[in-house]
């Protein structure tokens, strides 16, 4: 195997591998993460964030418009403080509601924004006033059982009459 043949083969090998990497990066992965484009930050306080994680998506009308940047605990109000990065091109009114929702039934949790009607838009560092905590499964179940028990009691009184 002479030198030029080796060079040719190695060159082909490297090109093929780079092509494979590009294929993986572009067609397989998603390059549309919000790390590169311009963002502004907004905070929201929640009573319970459930299973929300940093880097979870922030969606409005089902479209990803931002990412969760940071999650902290406020030791005075005993609430969770969630900081989110929103893309510069998405402007929301000051009275927008932030809810913690689940994708699918048992899927990942994300922050859903529902736009309000205020004329003034959110700026970097603002705080969302209206929030709705995550649905916690245990509370849901105990609520369900409580309701069932409450229904059962008036009926139980009937036969005793």
Partner 1 sequence: MRVADLRARLERLGSGVSSHVWRLGFASRFLGYLVLHSGTALRRFRLTVAEIYFAGVLSLIIILVSGLFVGMVLALQGYETLQRFGASESLGVLVALSLVRELGPVVAGLLFASRAGSAITAEIGLMKATEQLSAMEMMAVDPIARVVAPRFWGGVLSMPLLAALFSAMGIFGGYIVGVQLIGVDPGAFWSQMQAAVDLRNDILNGVIKSVVFGIAVTWIAVFEGYDAPPTAEGVSRATTRTVVTSSLAILALDFVLTALMFTGGNHQ
Interface contacts to partner 1, rule CB under 8 A: 1, 3, 6-7, 9-10, 12-14, 16-18, 20-21, 23-25, 27-31, 33, 35, 49, 52-55, 71
Cα 66 from chain centroid?
A: 8
Distances, alpha carbon 100 to alpha carbons 45, 110, 134, 150, 151, in Å: 11, 6, 5, 29, 30
For the purposes of burial, counting CB atoms within 10 Å of the CB of 46, is it exposed (0-12), middle (13-18) or buried (19 or more)?
buried
Task: Please report how close the Cβ of residue 68 comes to partner 1 at its closest, in angstroms.
Answer: 10
**Nearer of residues 24 and 130 to partner 1, judged by Cβ:** 24
Closest CB 28 distance from partner 1, rounded Å: 5
In the complex with partner 1, the residue whose CB is nearer, 25 or 121, is 25
Q: Which is nearer to partner 1, 20 or 140 (CB)?
A: 20
Taking the least distance from each CB to partner 1, the nearer of 56 and 122 is 56
Separation of alpha carbons 30 and 15, rounded Å: 22
Among residues 25 and 156, whose Cβ is nearest to partner 1?
25
CB 12 within 8 A of CB 18: no
Q: How far is the CB of 135 from partner 1 (least distance, A)?
A: 17
4 contact partners, CB below 8 Å, separation of at least 6? none
The least CB distance from residue 85 to partner 1, in Å, is 15
Nearest distance, CB of residue 140 and partner 1, angstroms: 21
- The number of angstroms, rounded, from the C-alpha of 135 to the middle of its chain's C-alpha atoms is 14
């Amino acid at each position: 195997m002479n030198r030029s043949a080796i060079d040719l083969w190695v060159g082909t090998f490297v090109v093929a591998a780079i092509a494979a990497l590009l294929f993986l990066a572009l067609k397989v992965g998603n390059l549309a993460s919000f790390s590169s484009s311009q963002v502004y930050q907004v905070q929201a306080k929640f009573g319970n964030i459930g299973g929300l994680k940093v880097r979870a998506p922030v969606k409005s009308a089902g479209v990803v418009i931002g990412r969760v940047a940071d999650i902290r605990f406020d030791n005075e109000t005993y609430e969770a403080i969630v900081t989110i990065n929103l893309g510069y091109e998405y402007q929301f009114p000051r009275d927008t509601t932030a809810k913690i929702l689940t994708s699918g039934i048992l899927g990942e949790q994300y922050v859903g924004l529902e736009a309000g009607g205020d004329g003034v838009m959110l700026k970097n560092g603002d705080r969302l006033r209206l929030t709705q905590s995550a649905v916690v499964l245990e509370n849901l179940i105990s609520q369900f059982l409580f309701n069932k028990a409450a229904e059962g009691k008036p009926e139980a009184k009937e036969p005793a009459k």
